[in-house]
Amino acid sequence: MSISLPDELPLAYQEQMKRLFEADGEPIDPFLDSYREPRAYGLRVQPWKWNGHETARRNAAALFGLEPVPWCPEGYYYEESSRPGKHPYHHAGLYYIQEPSAMSSAELLDPQPGELVLDLAAAPGGKATQIAGRMKGEGLLIANEIHPQRAKILAENMERMGVVNCIVTQADPHALAERFPYSFDRIMLDAPCSGEGMFRKDPEAVNEWSPEHVEACALRQRDIIRAAVRMLRPGGSLVYSTCTFNRRENEDIIAHWLETYPEFELVRMERLWPHRHRGEGHFVALLKKSSSAPDATDAADGSASAQSGRRGGSRKGKGASGVNAAAAAFRQYAEWAREHLPGLELPPGRPLLFGDELYYVPDTHPGARALLDDASVFSGLRLHRLGLHLAHLRKNRLEPAHALAMACTAADQAALRFDAAADDPRIAAYLRGEPIAPNPEQSGAKGWTLVAVDGLPIGWGKASDGLIKNHLPKGLRALG
Ligand code: SAM
């Protein structure tokens, strides 16, 4: 099913939109006409992969017909038929396919390197990967998603895009607020909504729409906001966004917000309309919490006791090994990295060991350090990723994690590498999970090999006997 005529849109939706345009004294026809226009396709590049890779940049621009998105420096429109999501550069995390209007939310949030940032409803990761791009690996991002399957996809996307400073949690926003009251410098709340801006992109969204669904979404948004408000530190900023058009989930939510939480001021509120901007449409609002708002030390809502209770708790997160075991495992990794990955420099941080899996979490932000010092803060929370997954520890050896390959910004950070052009058949073979033949100058090489396309890492292989054995995780192999 594809929506080509406004007649196919629910009548109640059309009436709602008529009322909205009438109230604004604007004609509705240009908006309705936009449903007859082809939709806009966008991708957003990951700065640390895009910069410094001239060949990939040039190829991507030519292959996908890239044109800049005016409101996002990393955003580009692409031609639908060029299918960048199927290209090896997508596996390399060079870009994230993202609807162009949706790029406006993180732009407005304007996260900075070194901050402690929360993306409260983060899957599949469009805004979270954009926020991470702006943070440049410095500071800490907590990306949360309530639904297990979606949280898994979120974690995979953070990994593909080479993000090192992100913890992916799977929690109800209120459970998160219990653990992180008054903590974050910035919060992204890209709320679950009735998705009216998805109608052109996803006709299924039309079937789910009803006035009752809009009301249910508005109620849920108010509920999530209670948790978000609590987690923002005094003086912090928050972006609320939706991909829907009705007022109940947008302006009315903001009005309710300002009434209920007078410590907030509205800095900016904007709509991107599909008939005015080349995109599917978005609502974005930037709010700031007063710096004199209560914080954890003087809050009257019980959060302070929640914090002190937390401090009294165990210092170990569920399943985490002790500091010494983690330090020993990290020494083993460091030795391995000296030999195999001499060009990768990790930001200041700390190793964490969960069973045989070694992670590394950047901890330069004092808030991040406080969180990590008290790892009980994570106990009971489902964690899908804890910073950078460095390695799997096997009996007497170490296997580098796929995430480590993706965190490398260039093939030449590894001592041994296989680097080929995107159209080399061995790249497609590697992505299907097959072993590949090394380039002639490396035919005698032996050991862990960083496999790359036009200089951009896509995973690990292990060279021996004139062949590179495939170590791409099974779930990531391309079908067909
Ligand atoms: N920010 C994401 C991105 O840019 O890729 C899109 C987020 S989507 C608009 C909203 C998310 O909220 C969905 O992943 C949905 O599973 C999640 N969600 C649903 N109910 C929720 C709730 N009660 N609390 C928090 N998140 C919820």
Residue 322: pLDDT band by 50, 70, 90 thresholds?
confident
DSSP H or E stretch at residue 308: helix 303-311
**Rounded to 5 degrees, what angle do the CA atoms 416, 421, 424 make?**
100
Catalytic residue ranges? 243
Q: Is pLDDT larger for residue 116 or for residue 38? A: 116
Nearest-CA residue for atom 1 of ligand 1 = 122
User: 195 C-alpha to center of ligand 1: Å?
Assistant: 11
Strand segments (E) across 209-281: 232-242, 264-272
Residue 5: pLDDT band by 50, 70, 90 thresholds?
low
User: 455 C-alpha to center of ligand 1: Å?
Assistant: 34
Pocket of ligand 1 (CB under 6 A): 102, 121-127, 145-147, 150, 173, 190, 192, 220, 224
Per-residue pLDDT at 319: 62
Average pLDDT over the chain, rounded to whole? Answer: 92
Q: Which atom of ligand 1 is nearest to the CA of 102?
A: 4
CA 393 to chain centre: 27
Interval 132-152: pLDDT, tens: 999 999 999 999 999 999 999
Distance from C-alpha of 472 to C-alpha of 462, rounded to nearest angstrom: 11
Query: Which of 145, 174, 381 to mutate to test ligand 1, by most ligand atoms within 8 A of the CB atom?
Result: 145
Residue-by-residue DSSP string for 144-191: E-SSHHHHHHHHHHHHHTT--SEEEEE--HHHHHHHSTT-EEEEEEE-
Over 60: is that where the pLDDT of 335 sits?
A: yes
Query: Which of 146, 217, 253 to mutate to test ligand 1, by most ligand atoms within 8 A of the CB atom?
Result: 146
User: 52 C-alpha to center of ligand 1: Å?
Assistant: 34
Per-residue pLDDT at 307: 39
Q: Taken in order 262, 264, 268, 273, is the CA torsion positive or negative?
A: negative
Nearest-CA residue for atom 26 of ligand 1 = 121
Interval 353-366: pLDDT, tens: 999 999 999 999 98
Nearest-CA residue for atom 8 of ligand 1 = 192
Q: Which stretch of 213-217, 258-262, 394-398 has the lowest confidence by average pLDDT?
A: 394-398
Longest dimension (CA), the chain: 74
